[in-house]
Amino acid sequence: MVIKKQQAVAMVPAAAWGIRSSFQSLVALLLTILVVAAIYLRQNNEQLFDYGTSTSSGPLTSRCNLFSGKWVFDNKSYPLYKEKECTYMSDQLACEKFGRKDLNYQQWRWQPHHCDLPRFNATALLEKLRNKRLVFVGDSLNRNQWVSMTCLLDSAIPSDFKSMHQNGSINIFKATEYNATIEFYWSPLLVESNSDDPVNHRVPDRIVRVQEIEKHARHWIHADYLIFNTYLWWRRRQMTVLWGSFENPEDGFYKAVKLPRVYEMALQTWAQWLEVHVNRNKTQLFFMSMSPTHQKAEKWGGMEGENCYGETEPVYEEGFMGDGASPRMMRVVESVLDELKTKRDLNVQFINITQLTDYRKEGHPSIYRKHWETITEEQLANPKSYSDCIHWCLPGVPDVWNELLYAYILQL
């Protein structure tokens, strides 16, 4: 039984001045017990589960911060699935398959300081997603999280009841029995850019149309759950912005705009699109904070010139912050989301994975993945030179991002 606080408060005066007959006293007593029980239950709920920085109108409010905690080695409950058994695993993330021998990176559990994360239950999530669309929108880190999500759900779905299919920028994993889709939409800058091709997006001169998003957004706007990210592709001093179209580039107006201003412009475009087009009664919105990179070992006491290559343990120092995330850009996201909430009545849940991810310097594929380019003799002699210290091995860190997302989606 859960009674909302407003109801509970409304009952107190009634109980206080209603004492005339013994019948009324009895009613008053019962009401008082009810109020006390309701408040007690509420407080217990608040201690068990957490809504982080959320002040949303959900049934529970924040007391424990899910994002503040520590990693605990737990080889009893982790990994949540086996790399080999994930039907749609990506070769970019399959570190064991590509020769990684130390596998402890698969077995760390995130332990918030003042509460527990609910255990991921694939069946419960699939039930929640019945007849629904969940869409990840963003860059390759968001794709990393999407692959993790398909692996987490995979084992609960018999092989004849799932499918995977790609069409242009969109990848669709479907659980047919549930009529549920878990999708990934490639748009690394959220707004339009010349990096929007899902395959050939490594262009020397990046150009972004900061005011245009419709070309992408019309594909995802009607989803039931939207999980956004965008960060890495903006990490440069400035960007070339185009006012005009890619079809007639010579008619356009170009200007170089510095960071973080250009990032803010793009997020404003995104926010305005949501404000106008999203169905507030249907769609739940999430924004994943930035996933830090681990390119500079001296930040965690390693040798200068080294990176994540060869790391086998997380950073244990509480509050550690390397230089693989930009607090400045995080503040931009926060202020855009804050304005959406306070001025436009639109809630986007911020999933703050940055700090917890920063500890995991050992979770990257480094050399243990499929590389698209051929690796030269020279590179082979110096493995750190071609190590991937951006993405994450699976099973691994993104599974925990999804456990956090799961807690919000199921409103635990």
Annotated catalytic residues are 140, 388, 391
Q: Is 268 in the site for ligand NAG (CB under 6 A)?
A: no
Residue from the set 45, 54, 65, 379 that interacts with ligand NAG by CB under 6 A:
65
Q: Whole-number minimum distance, CB 341 to ligand NAG, in Å?
A: 14
| Smaller CB separation from ligand NAG, 169 or 307 | 169
Residue from the set 22, 167, 200, 374 that interacts with ligand NAG by CB under 6 A:
167
Q: Is 77 in the site for ligand NAG (CB under 6 A)?
A: no
Burial class from Cβ neighbours inside 10 Å (0-12, 13-18, 19+) for residue 34 reads middle
- Contacts with ligand NAG by CB under 6 A: the residue count is 23
Reading phi first (left if > 0) and then psi (alpha if -120 to 50, else beta), residue 179 is in left
Q: What are the tokens at 401?
A: 């991002």
Q: Whole-number minimum distance, CB 395 to ligand NAG, in Å?
A: 14
Q: Whole-number minimum distance, CB 224 to ligand NAG, in Å?
A: 7
Which residues ranging from 133 to 162 are in contact with ligand NAG (CB under 6 A)?
133
In whole angstroms, give the CA distance from residue 176 to residue 179: 5
Picking from 403, 191, 144, 170, the residue whose alpha carbon sits closest to that of residue 291 is 144
Residues 6+ apart with CB under 8 A from 397: 357, 360, 363
| Smaller CB separation from ligand NAG, 92 or 229 | 229
Residue from the set 55, 123, 163, 382 that interacts with ligand NAG by CB under 6 A:
123
| Smaller CB separation from ligand NAG, 206 or 222 | 222
In whole angstroms, give the CA distance from residue 4 to residue 60: 10
User: What single-letter DSSP state applies at residue 83?
Assistant: G
Q: Which stretch binds ligand NAG (CB under 6 A): 4-12, 42-50, 64-72, 298-306?
A: 64-72
Q: What are phi and psi of 37, to 5 degrees?
A: -60, -40
- Find out whether 286 and 225 touch, Cβ atoms under 8 Å: yes
Q: Is 352 in the site for ligand NAG (CB under 6 A)?
A: yes
Residues 6+ apart with CB under 8 A from 32: 15
List the x/- string, 13-52, binding to ligand NAG by CB under 6 A.
----------------------------------------
Strand partners, 137: 185, 228
Residue from the set 211, 268, 355, 379 that interacts with ligand NAG by CB under 6 A:
355
Q: What are the tokens at 39?
A: 């408040």
Q: Is 121 in the site for ligand NAG (CB under 6 A)?
A: yes
In whole angstroms, give the CA distance from residue 43 to residue 236: 46
Strands 192-193 and 207-209, by their bridges, are antiparallel
Q: Which stretch binds ligand NAG (CB under 6 A): 5-13, 130-138, 384-392, 399-407?
A: 130-138
Closest residue to bound ligand NAG by CB: 68
Query: How many CA atoms lie less than 13 Å away from 62 in the CB half-sphere?
Result: 11
Residues in contact with ligand NAG by the rule CB under 6 A: 53, 65, 67-68, 75, 121, 123-124, 127, 131-133, 167-168, 179, 181, 279, 281, 330, 334, 352, 354-355
